[in-house]
Amino acid sequence: MKLVACINHVPDTATKVAIAADGRSIERTGVTFTVNPYDEFAIEECLRLKEKLGGEVIAVSLGGDTHRETLRKALAMGADKAVLLKDESPRDSFAVACALTQYLKEASPDAVFFGKQSVDSDDAAVGPMVAEMLGLPSVTVVVKLDINGTTVTAQREIEGGRETVETKLPAVFTAQKGLNEPRYPSLRGIMAAKNKPIEERVPAAVSPKVEILSMRKPPTKNPGKIVGTDVSAVPELVRLLHEEAKVI
């Protein structure tokens, strides 16, 4: 099986976000970047499928040289090769999907995995967009996956429950937390990764369809009140919620 994991290099979730001077993006100095947490489930699922069914795992990322760090992590986990689509121009989900589709059309994989969303833009769109562009079925927010030949049974998370979805390969999946437990790269894996190839390609330029006009911090709240420090505060809290906040 040819398995591709599309992964992103994003600010660590512990980052305290500051707005950059351009007023449209975040300040990057002092920010630690890492593999998008949801993409680790994507890489892991590819590795498990390769272990079970044989084949090859390719990790792909769109970005600058800094993305090599994240591709090396995928290689260290066990991916066979990596591809860097080298482009740092601002892209919306559509433009990112175009670049990945350009590569995937040529690579022609059996299954493509994404994390369910990238924790920077939180669009959760690139995976299904790529699927549509490739004319393939997609299942998003996958928490369980079973592949039998070309038949796929997947469970995805919906409000208050789960849907069991059936489809056929080739297909695109976006991974949700809980799909698997991503392995830690072993020391041997880290060493081996240094010799695995990272192929570099330049994707075609694409005009985005969404323009960011401005970025700002969310409004700071007025300081709240400490109602009390023991059970005697409870009736007052309930009164405030009922009469002041009017939420109960």
Partner 1 sequence: MKILVVAEQREGKLKKHAFEALRTARTVAEQAGGQVVALVIGTRVQDVAATLGGYGAQRILTVEDPRLQQYSTTAYTRIIADIAKAEQASVVILAASALGKDCAPRIAVRLDAGLAVDCIALKVDGGDIIATRPVYAGKALTEIRVTSPVKVITLRPNVFPAGSSSGTTVQPEPVSIILSDSDFGTVVKETTQTAGKLDVAEADIIVSGGRGLRGPENFKMIEELASALGAAVGASRAVVDAGWRPHEEQVGQTGKTVSPSLYVAVAISGAIQHLAGMSSSKYIVAINKDKDAPIFEVADYGIVADAFEIVPVLTQEVRKLLGK
Interacting span for partner 1 (CB under 8 A) from 59-67, 72-80, 197-205, 240-248: 240-248
Say which residues have a Cβ less than 8 Å from residue 57's Cβ, sequence separation at least 6. 3, 4, 5, 43, 46, 47, 50, 78, 79, 80
Using CB under 8 A, pick the residue from 1, 81, 107, 137 that binds partner 1. 137
Using CB under 8 A, pick the residue from 64, 90, 197, 235 that binds partner 1. 235
Interacting span for partner 1 (CB under 8 A) from 50-58, 81-89, 102-110, 237-245: 237-245
Nearest distance from residue 2's CB to partner 1, in Å?
A: 20
Interacting span for partner 1 (CB under 8 A) from 49-57, 73-81, 150-158, 191-199: 150-158
Nearest distance from residue 120's CB to partner 1, in Å?
A: 6
Distance CA 116, CA 38 (A): 6
Say which residues have a Cβ less than 8 Å from residue 209's Cβ, sequence separation at least 6. 92, 94, 95
| 141 binding partner 1? (CB under 8 A) | yes
Question: Interaction with partner 1 in 49-78: which residues (CB under 8 A)?
Answer: none
| 90 binding partner 1? (CB under 8 A) | no
- What is the β-pairing status of strands 151-158 and 138-148? antiparallel
3-state secondary structure 38-55: HHHHHHHHHHHHHHHHCC
Alpha carbon separation from 162 to 34, 143, 155, 157, 165 (Å, rounded): 30, 9, 6, 5, 9
Interacting span for partner 1 (CB under 8 A) from 52-60, 66-74, 105-113, 239-247: 239-247
Alpha carbon separation from 242 to 35, 45, 227, 231, 232 (Å, rounded): 44, 48, 14, 18, 17
**Total binding residues for partner 1 by CB under 8 A?**
84
Question: Interaction with partner 1 in 181-220: which residues (CB under 8 A)?
Answer: 208-218
Using CB under 8 A, pick the residue from 8, 15, 34, 61 that binds partner 1. 15
Using CB under 8 A, pick the residue from 86, 177, 183, 201 that binds partner 1. 177
| 148 binding partner 1? (CB under 8 A) | no
